[in-house]
Amino acid sequence: MVQTIRFLPDRLNAEPVVFRGFTTPELGWTVLTGLIAGTVIGLLLAPVTGWVMIPTVALIAPLLLIAFGGKYLARMKRGKPAHYLYRRLEVKKRGWGLGDPSLIITSQRWSLRRGHRVMTRMGRL
């Protein structure tokens, strides 16, 4: 008879951390963001220092972003569920009007609409 697993760990199928607290997709997005930001900064510096600043800053920016952003990202993810950052990004996008309109972002208390107070066995509400 085959035994069944009664407890399956939550993080069994989670992506492993690859480098400095980044998973593979997070590392890719960080490098892409650093390349884009570095290219923009290099383009702004190019008239003053020359065209060589464009590739130089574009290649240095992702390294700096990974070096310093890894600690920040690990601190943000510590103690949170696996997809916490992705959900947080979805909520921010929805707040800017760019995300999925079916995502519910309002937070409010529920109301039972009772006319009188209900007493419990302990005498409190």
For the stretch 31-86, pLDDT in tens is 999 999 999 999 999 999 999 999 999 999 999 999 888 888 888 888 888 788 88
* Predicted pLDDT of residue 38: 95
Token pair 């993810």 in the structure block, residue = 77
**pLDDT digit string (tens) for 102-118?**
888 777 777 777 666 66
Task: Tell me the per-residue pLDDT of 87-98, one tens digit each, with 9 for 90 and over.
Answer: 888 989 988 888
Q: Specify the pTM.
A: 0.63
What are the start-end ranges of the E strands in 42-120? none
Is the dihedral angle over the CA atoms 24, 19, 58, 96 positive or is it negative? positive
Please, are residues 11 and 35 in contact by the beta-carbon 8 Å criterion? no
Copy the structure tokens of residue 10: 């939550």
